[in-house]
Amino acid sequence: MRLSRYFLPILRDTPKEAEIVSHRLMLRAGMIRQQSAGIYAWLPLGLRVLNKINAVIREEQNRAGAVELLMPVIQSADLWRESGRYEDYGKEMLRIKDRHEREMLFGPTNEEMITEIFRTYVRSYKDLPLNLYHIQWKFRDEVRPRFGVMRSREFLMKDAYSFDLTAEGAQHSYNKMFVAYLRTFARLGLTAIPMVADTGPIGGNLSHEFIILAPTGESDVFCHKDYLSFTPPAADVNFDDPKAMQSEVDRFTSLYSATSEKHDEAAYEALPDEAKVSARGIEVGHIFYFGTKYSEPMKAVVSGPEGKDVTVHMGSYGIGPSRLVAALIEANHDDNGIIWPDDIAPFRVGIANLKSGDAATDAACEDIYAKLTKAGVDVLYDDRDERAGAKFATMDLIGLPYQVIVGPKGLADGQVELKIRRSGEREMLSPEAVLNRLLATISPAI
RNA sequence: CGGGGUAUAGCGCAGCCUGGUAGCGCAUCUGCUUUGGGAGCAGAGGGUCGCAAGUUCGAAUCUUGCUGCCCCGACCA
């Protein structure tokens, strides 16, 4: 992408409403635009990041055997009356009426709808287990939205729903998502710690939140320090092997960890002092097993092996990609701006033409741009007629991991500069060497 | 939902107390000079001063009502 033809509304000043660093940087980098309290437009740069996060989530959901579909954002109130949640959900649910005065709602979650779909088509135990997911916008009318997309009213969520014949099967489904989540967060470069959680209005008796530690987090959390250095489940872990899944889950639930709602002061105090971690955390995922809470009232039943109807056991599994964008920035930034992980960056490489209009620098930039683009690398080529300083500042602000700096001085020696955003390291290399170096950074499919 | 703020150009702000028809910096546009870490000079464009009613010869400024937004708390897959 040529920056001169892109839409990247950078702000030099920080809008005063932005309190936390991720919100400030998302506004300054032209990623989002607030439209109303807790409601944001995603501008091109922000959308790129959101889509990259979604891609990782999809790969790991699919690997774990979940199947993607897409459900609507607007739902019928009648569906929610079946489960009894239309009355229970309260003012967080945005209720609307269509032209025929029919009661509708903007979905805060999709348990009822997925259960309706499931019960319509799935009749036999032979079709189980089944895990269906989608990535769709949700709306929860929070009393006080804040911190940009970290705590917004409209937000994107990946929500998966599992269906099993038995509680044992449901445990395996739960474990698969547990492992998939660990892998997903690890691939995003985040250390997420599973914590025993409150089940809230979703209900159920087995639930974990996945928390990443950050000073701007909204939850008080407590855990064993060793969690910070756990290695995530491997790519070739066998999701169909219940024992393998259970042992991974056991490994990640072996040490103390809890949010303040479930905190056990005595258990925590029993830890050695050097193992105690008391911090703030951001909830980036939440998984539940809730048995027949929805399948029972909504009559989601299948014929069992003995020919008798069996009410299915369900679980649901959420990740907030829009919140993850903010969480990633909270975990990856410095005074100059965002520092994206390679695979999440809106563009992996930035090319700064320090003298647009100069035949030699233009030619060198065009050549590098063309070759990287042809190799399938996302490149942002800053071909604007701007001063060098402005180009450096822009690339650092939007956090491009690799920056190729092309100017007349270097080209006189046949060299361009490669700068690594995260370390600040810079090196003068030939254009060919830079290309080889950049292509080598593209990690093979995990 | 309680408490506290705030609303003036795309962003950050001044002007309000003491009413006289709107200003600064950044950004944008033009020209010239510059050109390796957010350049300089000169000029230009851009605002129903959140909305409504009232007081007044005259309201960004005073009064009343409403609304948006932000912060603290409570709340929160």
pLDDT, tens digit, for every residue of A336-389? 999 999 999 999 999 999 999 999 999 999 999 999 999 999 999 999 999 999
Q: What are the phi and psi torsion angles at A312 (to 5°)?
A: -75, 155
Q: Show the tokens assigned to A37.
A: 């309290």
Percent of chain A with pLDDT over 90: 88
The answer to whether residue A34 scores a pLDDT higher than 70 is yes
Q: Which residues contact A401 (CB under 8 A, 6 or more apart)?
A: A339, A340, A341, A342, A345, A348, A349, A420, A421, A422, A441
Query: Is the Cβ–Cβ distance between A8 and A30 less than 8 Å?
Result: yes
pLDDT mean over A420-441: 96
Q: Is the CB of A13 under 7 A from strand B?
A: yes
Task: Give residue A200's pLDDT.
Answer: 63
- How deeply is A419 buried, as exposed, middle or buried, from its count of CB atoms within 10 A (0-12, 13-18, 19+)? buried
Mean confidence (pLDDT) of chain A: 94
Peptide bond between residue A9 and the one before it cis (omega within 30 degrees of 0): no
CB A307: neighbour CB atoms within 10 A?
A: 6
- How deeply is A91 buried, as exposed, middle or buried, from its count of CB atoms within 10 A (0-12, 13-18, 19+)? exposed
The answer to whether residue A446 scores a pLDDT higher than 60 is no
Residue with more model confidence, A262 or A59: A59
Residue with more model confidence, A35 or A131: A131
**Torsion sign across C-alpha atoms A281, A345, A319, A42:** positive
Task: Give residue A202's pLDDT.
Answer: 56
Task: Give residue A115's pLDDT.
Answer: 97
The answer to whether residue A444 scores a pLDDT higher than 70 is no
Q: Is the CB of A156 under 7 A from strand B?
A: no
pLDDT mean over A136-165: 94
CA A34 to each of CA A31, A74, A145, A335: distance values in angstroms, whole numbers, following the listed order: 10, 22, 12, 23
Query: Is the Cβ–Cβ distance between A122 and A162 less than 8 Å?
Result: no
Q: Which amino acid is at A256?
A: Y
Task: Give residue A19's pLDDT.
Answer: 84
Q: Is the CB of A409 under 7 A from strand B?
A: yes
Hits for CB < 7 Å against strand B across A residues 233-272 = none
The answer to whether residue A260 scores a pLDDT higher than 90 is no
Q: How many Å apart are CA A165 and CA A312, to the nearest integer?
A: 5
Nucleotide nearest to A411 (CA to C1'): B36
Nucleotide nearest to A407 (CA to C1'): B36
Hits for CB < 7 Å against strand B across A residues 346-375 = 354-355
A178-190 tens-digit pLDDT: 999 999 999 999 9
What is the gyration radius of the CA atoms in chain A, in angstroms?
24
Task: Give residue A204's pLDDT.
Answer: 61
CB A302: neighbour CB atoms within 10 A?
A: 21
Q: Is the CB of A144 under 7 A from strand B?
A: yes
pTM: 0.96
Q: Which of A256-270, A313-327, A348-362 shows the lowest per-residue confidence on average (mean pLDDT)?
A: A256-270
Q: Which of A167-171, A182-186, A213-217 shows the lowest per-residue confidence on average (mean pLDDT)?
A: A213-217
The answer to whether residue A445 scores a pLDDT higher than 80 is no
pLDDT mean over A213-233: 93
Q: Which residue is nearest to nucleotide B39 (CA to C1')?
A: A387
Nucleotide nearest to A357 (CA to C1'): B35
The answer to whether residue A198 scores a pLDDT higher than 80 is no
Q: What are the phi and psi torsion angles at A140 (to 5°)?
A: -130, 125
The answer to whether residue A216 scores a pLDDT higher than 60 is yes
pLDDT mean over A56-74: 97
Percent of chain A with pLDDT over 70: 98
Q: How far is the CA of A318 from the C1' of B48 (A)?
A: 47
List, in sequence order, the alpha helices (H) in A279-427. Answer: 321-331, 359-374, 388-398, 408-411
Identify which of A198, A359, A223 has the alpha carbon closest to the alpha carbon of residue A286.
Answer: A198
Residue with more model confidence, A51 or A18: A51
Q: Which of A205-209, A279-283, A419-423 shows the lowest per-residue confidence on average (mean pLDDT)?
A: A205-209
